[in-house]
Amino acid sequence: MDVLYLLIPLSVLIVFGVIGLFWWALQAGQFDHVDREGERILTDE
């Protein structure tokens, strides 16, 4: 039972970290050209 006092705050911090990384990726433009990248492998340049 005592381990829950460690695991619950640790999991909350990990969730906030993942949300922060996702927000950073959105702001950095990582997901701007998702549709075009899927078609890029099919075209011959």
pTM metric for this prediction: 0.67
> Containing domain of residue 15, as a range?
4-40
pLDDT at 20: 98
- The one-letter amino acid code at 18 reads V
pLDDT at 34: 73
**45 lies in some domain:** no
Domain count within the chain: 1
**21 lies in some domain:** yes
What pLDDT digit, counting tens, does each position of 1-45 carry? 899 999 999 999 999 999 999 999 999 988 887 777 777 778 876
Residue 23 to residue 27: CA distance in whole angstroms: 6
For the chain, what is the HEC assignment?
A: CCCHHHHHHHHHHHHHHHHHHHHHHHHCCCCCCHHHHHHHCCCCC
Residue 8 to residue 43: CA distance in whole angstroms: 48
**25 lies in some domain:** yes
**30 lies in some domain:** yes
